[in-house]
Amino acid sequence: MSELIQKDEDSSFRWRLLTEASVLALIGYVSAAPLANAEESDRPTVWIELGGQLSRWENSQEAYAPPFVTLTPSGFTSPLKAEKPPRYGWDETAALLFQPKGSDWTFSASLRYGRSSNSKHVRQQSSPAYYTVYSKFHRSSYGVYRHHTNHQQVKPAAARFVDVTAQQSESHTILDFQAGKDLGIGLFGRSASSILDVGVRFAQFTARSVIKLKENPDWKFKTFFTGFATAYDRYGYFYSVSRKAQRAGQPYHSFAGTFLANRSFNGLGPSISWNSSEPLVGNSERGALTFDWGVDAALLFGRQKAKIRHQTTALFHSTYAGLGDKMTAYRHPATPDHIRSRGVVVPNLGAFAGFSVKYPNAKISFGYKADFFFGGMDGGIDVRRTEDVGFHGPYASVNVGLGG
């Protein structure tokens, strides 16, 4: 009988404990509801972001290499090194994000514009010295011998040289319109945010190159000899006269090449991105440090264009025996325009990782970001050749929240 009474008391105690816990939880929820509503009403509905990125460009294109480049003297640096496109540029970003009150949906528009350029002038030249030649005169008359030797210095008419002027510029514009929803899936806890966005992306790339090459690769002094000699008897006496002269010719080729290229790509297509923010320390009221990361992809349907013009000339300078002849060896091509336009599909992949310091109405972010567009440009000269376009580097941005 006592055991039955003990069991009834234990059961009654458990029910009272469960009832009290439920009441406390309900009271806590009711008391916290106004705070949650207050936080919801204080949350900014509009965010404005401004930022920048130091980007390294990955854009290989066919180098302008006319045939005479292979004749560059071994002591000179190849002119092709001066034709390398710019490697670093500066990107500017701006974004506008709208999140309605009481909703976990977001709507955003962002713009990214980057540019880079370089201008190079490289000249390499030898410094030839004067060349000394001679002439010898011999005469024998009535048993008397006379000898004369004269020396003369010849001034260089030219020199071996390589002269390169290269001006190149590139730019890109990326415009995104997206709508997303906070899925609340984090790596380190429920307090993380994870937004899946879908939308449309527009991308435009342009590149321009102007290159001028001049080269005298084979100038040199080349000696040859001239002279005469005569001898005869006169009234029993022997006479002789001779003259021998060393000459210095300066034959060389003079090459020149010009190159102009304008390339572009314009594309539009669907995009998707996943951005996540994981809190590390702090809180949103006093400031929190978060780890941010994201990936995105797009498929761009557009058109590649390329307009190429190049021309090479060669002159042969023959300077033997005082001649100053110039003969045009070739001029190619006569009408050197290569114009191409083609519809393409360009896949795009990107990712970023960084940290943010968040406040209720502001956020400061920094990290590393990369974007790659596969087959984005026509990098060929005489024939089409697709090249990947990419840029990556450290970024920083400032976000300001409005409304609420």
DSSP secondary structure of 176-231:
EEEEEEE----SS-TT-EEEEEEEEEEEEEEEEEEEEEEEE-----EEEEEEEEEE
Select the more confidently predicted residue: 122 or 35.
Answer: 122
Mean pLDDT of 31-57: 70
Give me the residues paired with residue 212 across strands.
Answer: 165, 258
What is the residue whose two structure tokens read 């045939």? 67
CA atoms of 399 and 27, how far apart (whole Å): 37
Count CB neighbours of 47 within 10 A. Answer: 20
CA atoms of 79 and 260, how far apart (whole Å): 16
Count CB neighbours of 233 within 10 A. Answer: 8
Q: Are 130 and 151 in contact (CB under 8 A)?
A: no
Band (pLDDT 50/70/90 cuts) for residue 329 is low
> Does 322 score more than 70 pLDDT?
no
Retrieve residue 242's tokens. Answer: 């001779």
What is the residue whose two structure tokens read 């060929």? 380
Q: Name residue 71's amino acid.
A: L
Q: Where are the beta strands (DSSP E) in 126-192?
A: 131-141, 144-154, 161-182
Retrieve residue 137's tokens. Answer: 């005169």
> Does 2 score more than 50 pLDDT?
no
Mean pLDDT of 241-249: 85
Please give the pLDDT value at position 179.
93
CA distances from 127 to 130, 167, 269, 312 (A): 10, 28, 58, 26
Please give the pLDDT value at position 8.
45
CA distances from 259 to 82, 168, 208, 235 (A): 13, 11, 11, 75
Mean pLDDT of 13-28: 42
**What 3-state DSSP class applies to 239?**
strand
Name the residue ranges covered by the structural domains of the chain: 1-42, 45-402
> Does 104 score more than 90 pLDDT?
no
Band (pLDDT 50/70/90 cuts) for residue 377 is very high
Band (pLDDT 50/70/90 cuts) for residue 355 is very high
Count CB neighbours of 134 within 10 A. Answer: 11
* From the candidate CATH numbers 3.20.20.70, 2.40.128.100, 2.40.40.20, 3.40.30.10, the one assigned to the domain spanning 45-402: 2.40.128.100
Mean pLDDT of 58-64: 84
> Does 253 score more than 90 pLDDT?
no
Select the more confidently predicted residue: 21 or 183.
Answer: 183
Chain center to CA of 369:
15
What is the residue whose two structure tokens read 């995009």? 271
CA distances from 314 to 67, 116, 136, 137, 332 (A): 10, 34, 38, 41, 10
Q: What confidence tens digit (pLDDT) does each residue in 260-290 have?
A: 999 999 999 999 999 998 888 887 677 889 9
Count CB neighbours of 342 within 10 A. Answer: 11
Count CB neighbours of 95 within 10 A. Answer: 17
Q: What global pTM score does this model have? A: 0.76
Q: Are 399 and 374 in contact (CB under 8 A)?
A: no
Please give the pLDDT value at position 346.
96
> Does 60 score more than 60 pLDDT?
yes
Count CB neighbours of 209 within 10 A. Answer: 20
Q: Are 217 and 73 in contact (CB under 8 A)?
A: yes
CA angle 332, 381, 254 (to 5 degrees): 35
> Does 27 score more than 60 pLDDT?
no
The phi and psi torsions of 145 (rounded to 5 degrees) equal -110, 135
From the number of C-beta atoms within 10 Å of its C-beta (0-12, 13-18, 19+), residue 115 rates as middle
Mean pLDDT of 133-141: 84
Going by C-alpha positions, the residue among 203, 1, 236, 226 that lies closest to residue 111 is 203
Please give the pLDDT value at position 236.
66
Please give the pLDDT value at position 39.
46
> Does 3 score more than 50 pLDDT?
no
Band (pLDDT 50/70/90 cuts) for residue 404 is low
Mean pLDDT of 311-326: 69
How much is the mean pLDDT over the chain? 82
